[in-house]
Structure formats: structure tokens, C-alpha cells
Amino acid sequence: MCGIVGYVGKKPVLDILLDGLEQLEYRGYDSSGVAIKCPDAIKVYKAEGKLSNLREELAPHAYELAKSTMGIGHIRWATHGAPTVINAHPHTCNCGNLVIVHNGIIENYKELKEELEAKGCVFKSQTDTETIAHLIANIYGEVKDLTKAVQLATKRIQGAYALCIMHNDEKDKLVVTKRNAPLVIGVGEHEFYVASDVPAIIKHTKRAIYLTDNQVAVLTPETMVLQDENGKELTPKVEILPWEPVALSKMGYKHFMLKEIHEQPDVIRNILVGKLHTSNSPIILDEVKVNKETLKNLNRIQVIACGTSLHAAMIGKYIIEDFCGIPVDVEASSEYIYRKTVTDEHTLVIGVSQSGETADTLTAIKQSKARGSHILIITNRPDSAMAREADSLIPVSAGIEVSVAATKSYIAQLTSFYLLALYMAEIKSSMPADKLTELKSGLLTLPQKIEQILAHKENIQKCARKYSSTRDFIYIARGINYPTALEGALKLKEISYINATGYPAGELKHGPIAMLDETMPVLSILMKGSVYEKLLSNSEEAKARNARMIALTNSDDEKLDDLFDYIIRVPEIEELLSPIIAMIPLQLMAYYIAEFLGKDVDQPRNLAKSVTVE
Ligand code: M6R
């Protein structure tokens, strides 16, 4: 969700900025722009839509910009004002001397804007960001020092921001700062890189500095000065990034999403290595820092997350309650943060997030931490803001996920929940030994079973084509796979824009059944186990209303052939582990429908990979 880049050094800046923005495209955006420091003045170029439009806009200026070695860039995901050229960043003050890019939302921008307009500032855009440009420029007019002006201005700003700022009168100087929005500084030889995320800098350097909230860094080719919001000098902490630049290739797949779906067997293998050796050995989960006595006596867990991570959390609840007998509440972070939640030092709070930067989840985590709860974070980004808040950190190690639609990170979150639930069940002795062994042995077989599904993906592709012209889609399931129905529907919605909804099948007759007729596809996630027969009856009810019935099943029951128009079969698996197996065909189904419809699979409209605003 918005991405900023910046560079100051000795190399030509334009390609560095454009390439950096390209690496951030996965975050989701609808316009882009750069500001380049030229010998006479800073020049700004912007475009609507994809980065290719900005490249076109820049092409006639390539020669005059070729020697520039400092600049900032931005991809914008519209919040205040439509995705137009005027609203695209960088934004400038009245005279154009000060230029900024911003990621985040300024909550008090209306008051500030009124005040600044009264002082003669003329606003060109509808954005909240332009307020910051005018505010800093106004203060700069008085103090004549960019760093100081930024420090004073940010004290007046409410909301979230990562900012990268240049001024015509401050030669070779980039000023950056942040509050509740991600920002990383890459340290090179006689150069610094600035970005919202590591992929934009990793091919240049592995040495990085993460700013903490309210810190201000002043960068020139040779120096970095780090200060707190009051100008007190601080010592920067340089970290070595655990990233490889090759991670961002499609490796021959048409889309990142398809590649990431295919990576899932190895993702599970990687997670299990070192944690689960054989079905008879205990789970090793040293990442959990809660002492064993406390874990044994834990009487409440809360899990907070958004979107796909929320669905993983719902399955986490199911298995922790089943394996360990501990009550678990799951809540969308955006709801959790605006009510009086009962959390204290006796509650284990688990935050689940692919990006580790989701604003709502981060706020929820900080609230629970302030109330004394132990914070366990399950994330794919051990370098994220949430990871830095964690008392216990379970990195899910799925590797960077580029496609906006989460796939491998979801499967990795689920695998981590299984390990956690089994680990706690072993400590609490809450599960019979033979059941534990069966589940561990089942976990170890998952990668191979997913490979079997991937090897027969043509059947799913055929099904996707058959149903791709539908406007609506219903997914039904019961028990542990109800969240799978929600996640299957979310995947389809996100990338194909088909109106898909997941229901607990028992709820169909309480309302949604009114929607059914011969145009409506209903997909039943029919895994063998405790609710199989019940779900079969619910599917009969849908069939009786002429719905177009699809089964996703691990049963070879012949009566399914009469009931369903299309059957997708998956390998046998213990019911409690079936959400992982059931999800793979649903990811493929969503992918093939969207691909068939010609949608922008990896960067669906309106969506952002990292949702850094509330
Ligand atoms: O990074 P997070 O897991 O915290 O993100 C939460 C949601 O924004 C995310 O899962 C979103 O729903 C994805 N687009 C799902 O595909």
C-alpha cells in the first residue's frame, strides 16, 4: 500500500528509483511519480496507472536526467483523492522548492490545510500528503534548516507516515522519517537507499537500518546523521538483511501467484525441518518463549489478524481448542482495537500477519502488549514492525510473497499453527499419544500430497473454465473447513472480482438458500470425517434448488457422482489436517478463473499487499 524509494549517492538515480518502484509494485498502487535533483532545480514527473506509463512520461527526459544522482519516488494507492496525476506523489510546496513522498494517512490534515491556506498556501491536489509539503515548507521558511523543519512539522501531524524529503536549497541531502509506517535505509559505499520494503534495495546492499518511530535520518552520499524528534543525535544500528535478490523472479511461471502456489510443498518442508523430525519425536519450538509451566496453565488465548491471516487464525482456534482444550478467541484486528477488550498478563495474544506491517494488527498488538499480555507473532517477515513487538516470534519462512493474493504464506501460517498446537498439546499432555503420532505423521506427508494435487491441476483448470462466466459463487463447508470456505471465496473475489461468499453449510437454510437457482455454482468442501454426512445433506438441499454443484472431496463415494456436476478429488488426509490439502485446489480454481478472464492476477485492482493504513 503505497511505496516510497529514495537514493542519494554517486550513481545515476533514475534507474535506481524506477527499478526500486518496480520491486514495490506488489504492494498495490494506482499511480506513480519521481522527483529528481537536477543541476538547476528538482524536477517532478508523474503518471496515472502502471509504472510503464511513468517510464513513457520520463523517456523524452532521459538524457537531461542521466547525470542526476539524487531523487525520490513513489507508487500511490489512493486514499484521499482519486488516482490522478495531480494527486500522485511527489508533492511540492507553493514554490516547488520542497518535494516529498509519503506513505500513510494524515488524520488531522483538514485542520492543517485550513491553517496553511490562511497563510497563503495553494493546494493543487486532494491529498492529505500535500499538507505535509506545505507545513514543512512554511516552517522551513522560518528555521532555514530542513531537518529541524521536519522535526517541528511532524510534531503537529497526527496519523501514520513514512516520509522522504528533498529541498532545492539543501544540496545532496535527503531527509527521512517515519511513524507507524515501514521504512528501511540501505547502506552502500558512498550512497544510501531508502525504501518502504527490502525488495527495493536488496540488489544494491544487504546492510540496512530500520528507523524506529519519530527518528529522523539525514542522508548525504558520505554521511548519515540520525536524530530523535528533538534533535538529539543517536547511533544507527546497521543490520544484515537475511534476503537473497533472486527471490523476486517468476521462474518461468506466467504469474507470481502460480509460482507461489507451486512452492507450497517446499514451504511446508522448510518449516518442518528442525521442528518435526519423525512422527515419534517431540515438536521442537524454541521460538515460543512462554515458559512451560505458564503454557500448561494457560486458560485463554486471543488471536488477532486480518484477511487471509484471519482465516488461518480461525483454523488455529479450531486446532488449539481441539488439541489442547484451551479456549481461543479470534477477532479481526480492525474490530479488536475499537472496543474494550479483556486482555491481561494471563492472556497469550497471537498476532498473525504475512507482512507483519498491517496497521490494524500492529495497533492491536501494541494495545495488548501495553496490558501486559505475552505477544506471539506468526509472520512471514521477521524484519517487520510486528516482529519487533514480539515476545515470541514464529517466522513462517515462506520466502517473499509477491502476488497480492496470499497463498503460500497462508499455508505456512497454517503449518505453524499445527506445530504450535501440537507443541502445546505435548506440554499439556492433552492428547492421546497415538493421536499425536498420527497427526505428526500426517503433517510430514502433506508436501507430497500437495505435489499430487499440483500434478493433476488440469482437472481444476477445466472446472475453472466451466464456471468462469458466473457472476456469483458460493462455497460451503462445516467444522474445521468453514474457514477454508471463507478463504476460497476471498481468493476468488480478490483476483477475479466474482462475488464469492463462504458459508458454514448449516447456515444455508437460514437465508442464503434464497439465492440458489440454476445459475449459482455451489462448491462443497467435503472432507471425510465428523461432518461429512451433514455436509452431504446440506449439498442435497442446494441441489434440490437446482444449484450447479461442485465437490472438492477426498472421498470416492459413488453417490457423489449423482449429486455433483463436477468433482475435484484430493488425496486422503486426516480430517484435522484437511484445511491445508483442501486449500490448494481452491487457490488454483481462483487463479485459473482470473487468468481465463484476463485479470491482473498478481496485482488485482484496489488491493494492496501491505495494508499500512487503518
Ligand atoms: O499481511 P497481513 O497478513 O497482515 O495482511 C492481511 C490482509 O490484508 C491480507 O491477508 C489480504 O486479505 C490478502 N490480500 C489476502 O490474499
| Ligand 1 atom at minimal distance to the Cα of residue 610 | 1
pLDDT confidence band for 246 (50 / 70 / 90): low
How open is the CA angle 17-23-26, to the nearest 5 degrees?
Answer: 130
Q: Beta-carbon neighbour count of residue 272 at 10 Å?
A: 19
Distance 555 CA to ligand 1 centre (A): 32
DSSP code, position 283: P
Helices (H), 33-128: 51-58, 62-65, 109-118
Residue 598 CA neighbour count, 13 Å, CB half: 0
CA nearest ligand 1 atom 11, residue: 307
- Given the CA of residue 305, which atom of ligand 1 is nearest to it? 4
571 compared with 81, residue with greater pLDDT: 571
Q: List strands edge to edge, sheet with 499-504.
A: 499-504, 472-477, 521-526, 548-553, 566-569
At 99-112, the pLDDT tens digits run 999 998 899 999 99
Q: 116-148 burial, b if ≥16 CB within 10 A, otherwise e?
A: beeeebeeebebbbbbbbbbbbbbbeeeeebbb
HSE at residue 92, side-chain half, CA atoms within 13 A, is 18
- pLDDT digits over 81-104, tens only? 899 999 999 999 999 999 999 998
416, 422, 427, 431: CA torsion to nearest 10:
160
Which has more confidence, 171 or 8? 8
Q: Report the relative pairing of strands 239-240 and 207-210 from DSSP bridges.
A: antiparallel
pLDDT of residue 180: 84
User: Predicted confidence band at 245 (pLDDT cuts at 50, 70, 90)?
Assistant: low
- In which band, very low, low, confident or very high, does the pLDDT at 248 lie, cut at 50, 70 and 90? low
> Who contacts 150 (Cβ-Cβ below 8 Å, separation ≥6)?
136, 163, 165, 175, 177, 216
Choose the residue to mutate in 26, 27, 354 for probing ligand 1, maximizing ligand atoms within 8 Å of C-beta. 354
Give mean pLDDT, residues 569-575: 96
Whether residue 305 has pLDDT greater than 60: yes
> How remote is the CA of residue 120 from the centroid of ligand 1, in Å?
42
Fold for 458-596, please state it: Rossmann fold (3.40.50)
Helix extents (H) in 41-99: 51-58, 62-65
Task: From 337, 355, 402, 403, give the residue whose CB has the most ligand 1 atoms within 8 Å, as the site to mutate.
Answer: 355
Q: What is the pLDDT of residues 376-393, one digit of tens each?
A: 999 999 888 899 999 999
Distance CA 534, CA 1 (A): 42
C-alpha cell at 203: 540488489
**Secondary structure of 305-336 in HEC code, one letter for each residue:** ECHHHHHHHHHHHHHHHHHHCCCEEEEEHHHH
- d(CA 134, ligand 1 centre) in Å: 34
Contact, 383 vs 241, CB < 8 A? yes
Among 164, 229, 610, which Cα is nearest to 386's?
A: 610
CA of 447 to the centre of ligand 1 (A): 23
So what CATH class is 249-444? alpha beta
C-alpha to C-alpha distance for 130 and 153, rounded to whole angstroms:
13
Locate the ligand 1 atom nearest the alpha carbon of residue 355 and give its number. Answer: 1
pLDDT of 598 over the 60 cut:
yes
What pLDDT is recorded for position 247?
56
> Confidence band (pLDDT; 50, 70, 90) for 611?
confident
Per-residue pLDDT of 50-74, as tens digits, reads 999 999 999 999 999 999 999 999 9
pLDDT in tens, 176-226: 999 988 899 999 999 999 999 888 999 999 999 999 899 999 999 999 999
Indicate which atom in ligand 1 lies nearest the CA of residue 406.
Answer: 16
Give the per-residue pLDDT at 397.
84
* Length of the chain, in residues: 614
Integer CA distances (angstroms), 302 to 329, 346, 350, 465, in order: 5, 11, 6, 40
Residue 371: CB atoms within 10 A of its CB come to: 13
Task: Take atom 7 of ligand 1 and give the residue whose Cα is closest.
Answer: 307
User: Which candidate, 589, 585, 582, 537, places its Cα nearest to that of 563?
Assistant: 537
Which residue has its alpha carbon closest to ligand 1 atom 9?
307
Q: What percent of the chain stands above pLDDT 70?
A: 99
Ligand 1: which of 1, 27, 77, 309 to mutate, most ligand atoms within 8 Å of CB?
A: 309
Q: Is there a contact between 364 and 336 (Cβ–Cβ < 8 Å)?
A: yes
Q: Which residues, at least 6 apart from 245, have a Cβ–Cβ distance to it below 8 Å? A: 202, 203
Which residues have C-beta within 8 Å of that of residue 500, sequence separation ≥ 6?
472, 473, 474, 475, 488, 489, 490, 492, 493
Q: Which residues line ligand 1 (CB under 6 A)?
A: 306-309, 353-355, 358, 361, 404-406, 494, 607, 611
**Do 3-247 and 249-444 come out as alike in CATH topology?**
no
Percent of the chain exceeding pLDDT 90 equals 85
Contacts 24+ apart (CB under 8 A), 397-401: 397/267, 397/270, 397/271, 398/263, 398/267, 399/247, 399/263, 399/267, 400/199, 400/243, 400/247, 400/248, 401/256, 401/260, 401/354, 401/609
So what's the pLDDT on residue 427?
Answer: 95
Taking CA atoms only, the protein residue closest to ligand 1 atom 16 is 405
Give the integer Cα–Cα distance in Å for 515 and 225: 62
Q: Minimal CA–CA distance to 489: which of 405, 611, 403? A: 405
- The CATH number of the structural domain formed by 3-247 is 3.60.20.10
- Decide: 525 and 568 in contact? Cβ < 8 Å: no
- What integer pLDDT is reported at residue 559 of this predicted model? 87
Classify the C-alpha dihedral 462-579-353-502 as positive or negative.
Answer: positive
pLDDT given for residue 77 in this prediction:
87
Burial 16-42 (b: 16+ CB within 10 A, else e): bbbebbbbbbbbbbbbbbbbbbbeeeb
| Angle in degrees, 0-180, between the axes of helices 457-467 and 433-455, rounded to the nearest 10 | 70
- Ligand 1 centre from 607 Cα, in Å? 10
Q: 175-202 b/e with 16+ CB inside 10 Å = b?
A: bbbbbbbbbbbbbbeebbbbbbbbbbbb
Residue 140 has what pLDDT?
97
Quickly state the pLDDT bin for 44 (edges 50, 70, 90).
very high
pLDDT at position 488:
98
Please give the positions annotated as active site.
2, 609
CA of 381 to the centre of ligand 1 (A): 13
Q: What is the pLDDT of residue 339?
A: 87
Per domain, the residue ranges of the chain are 3-247, 249-444, 458-596
Cα 407 to middle of ligand 1, angstroms: 10
| 149 has a pLDDT exceeding 70 | yes
> How far, in Å, CA of 575 to CA of 70, rounded?
57
